[in-house]
Amino acid sequence: MAEPRFWQSKTHPVSLAILPASYLYAGLEALNRRFTHAQHPGKPVICVGNLTAGGAGKTPTVQWLTKWLTQENRRPAVLSRGFGGSLKGPLRVEPTQHSAAQVGDEPLMLADTCAVYICADRHQSLRLAAQDGHTVMVKDDGFQNPSMTHHFNLIVIDGATGIGNGRLLPAGPLRQPLSIALKKLDALLVIGEPSHSSLEPLMKSVKAMGKPVFRGEIKPQSAKPKKSNARVHAFCGIAKPEKFIASLREHGYDVAQVSSFGDHHAFTEAEAERLLASDLKLITTQKDMARLQGSAKGTALAHLAKAASSLPIALHIPEGEALREAIDTALEQKQASQLYKSY
């Protein structure tokens, strides 16, 4: 979904009007934490979560982690809810067999480079991944869910939007009281320039608790476009389309036209036909391309998947080695304390 503008203001009349709903949300969230018993997962779990609703950069972070773990021969598997997919799981996502409509766009995209398992109950998907021989799990989202013990909580936050007005849903973007979240997180990863006013006090609070703060940047992985191919019509269905457009322009594209849709948008035939009618070169995100791929042959959606290109991106963390060491240390300490139990 697109982030409401009032999430960035404490004085906006809409935020003030629905503030009582945030108090109700806080009460329900507290009850959930109070009466949900956390189960030991039996395998080390690294959770990539965020403090707020909306896009923060979790998917590139999951890719960064799984690439490292794979290089270390640790056999990682991603545990995802499969948001937006029709299949409930537990199952392993197979890019050649599944579509985004079945398993969700993010799991399908991640499955190109790593084993991905979907199910609303992450314990079920973890069991299946463990049976398949995977030894360390990367949990995509679910930081606020108290049902599973995490061995390392890496919290990702967007440097441009921070924690907004600092209020709980729905009056603000926070998914959990900040005081609770700060106690649970093990490291904070700020993606992009930390320009939002909420970032400096947040980073100070994290550091004051003796926990590290890292900076990351999402960079395009393709060569810069030639001048003859630089003028484009960009389209996307993501939470923060402005970030995609900014990335294109910074990479040298002349974005002459933009078509933006809701997050995880399922493109229709009519929309595909309108996009194909554009005189400009079409470009989209990897996540949107994942939703288009696998469309029925002969449809406008299939033609759009072939006609459009996508901008490949990857997360760069200058202090990546320090983050890897922090994760390794945490996992070793938890293992020594016999936190793991075998399924």
Same domain assignment for residues 199 and 278: no
- Residue 324 phi/psi, 5-degree rounding, is -60, -40
Same domain assignment for residues 235 and 329: no
Structural domain contains residue 326:
yes
Same domain assignment for residues 194 and 261: no
pLDDT digits (tens, 9 = 90+) for 106-152: 999 999 999 999 999 999 999 999 999 999 999 999 999 999 999 99
Q: What is the CATH number of the domain that holds 272?
A: 3.40.50
pLDDT at residue number 336: 65
Same domain assignment for residues 140 and 82: yes
Under the banding of pLDDT at 50, 70 and 90, the label for residue 3 is confident
Structural domain contains residue 5:
no
Distance of alpha carbon 236 from alpha carbon 259, whole angstroms: 7
Structural domain contains residue 113:
yes
Residue that has been written with the tokens 């441009």 in this structure: 160
Same domain assignment for residues 151 and 276: no
Question: Given a cut of 70, is residue 193 above it in pLDDT?
Answer: yes
Structural domain contains residue 25:
no
pLDDT at residue number 55: 83
Same domain assignment for residues 297 and 322: no
pLDDT digits (tens, 9 = 90+) for 195-225: 999 999 999 999 999 999 999 999 999 999 9
Burial class (CB in 10 A: 0-12, 13-18, 19+), 104: buried
Same domain assignment for residues 201 and 281: no
Average pLDDT of the residues in 225-229: 90
Question: Given a cut of 50, is residue 343 above it in pLDDT?
Answer: no
- Cβ-based neighbours of 2, under 8 Å, separated by 6 or more: 239, 240, 241, 262, 263
Average pLDDT of the residues in 68-76: 97
84 in the Ramachandran plot: left (φ > 0), alpha (ψ -120 to 50) or beta? left
**Is there a contact between 265 and 285 (Cβ–Cβ < 8 Å)?**
no
pLDDT at residue number 337: 67
pLDDT at residue number 294: 87
Looking at per-residue pLDDT, the higher value among 336 and 67 belongs to: 67
In this predicted structure, which of 199-203, 249-253, 332-336 has the lowest mean pLDDT? Answer: 332-336
pLDDT at residue number 1: 54
pLDDT at residue number 246: 94
pLDDT at residue number 287: 95
Number of structural domains (the chain) is 2
Q: What is the CATH number of the domain that holds 149?
A: 3.40.50.300
pLDDT at residue number 342: 45
Same domain assignment for residues 67 and 184: yes
pLDDT digits (tens, 9 = 90+) for 24-42: 999 999 999 999 999 988 8
Same domain assignment for residues 210 and 228: no
Structural domain contains residue 24:
no
Same domain assignment for residues 295 and 171: no
Question: Given a cut of 80, is residue 339 above it in pLDDT?
Answer: no
Same domain assignment for residues 170 and 262: no
- Residue 299 phi/psi, 5-degree rounding, is -85, 160
What's at 275, amino acid-wise?
Answer: L
Distance of alpha carbon 69 from alpha carbon 66, whole angstroms: 5
Structural domain contains residue 192:
yes
Helix (H, G, I), strand (E, B) or coil at 162: coil
- Tokens standing for residue 174: 């926070």
pLDDT digits (tens, 9 = 90+) for 279-327: 999 999 999 999 999 899 999 999 999 999 999 999 999 999 999 999 9
Burial class (CB in 10 A: 0-12, 13-18, 19+), 188: buried
Q: What is the mean pLDDT of the chain?
A: 95
Structural domain contains residue 302:
yes
User: How far does the chain reach from its first CA to its final CA, in angstroms?
Assistant: 37
Residue that has been written with the tokens 């009032």 in this structure: 6
pLDDT digits (tens, 9 = 90+) for 231-245: 999 999 998 899 999
- Cβ-based neighbours of 131, under 8 Å, separated by 6 or more: none
Same domain assignment for residues 186 and 232: no
Residue 144: give the domain boundaries: 35-216+317-336
Structural domain contains residue 8:
no
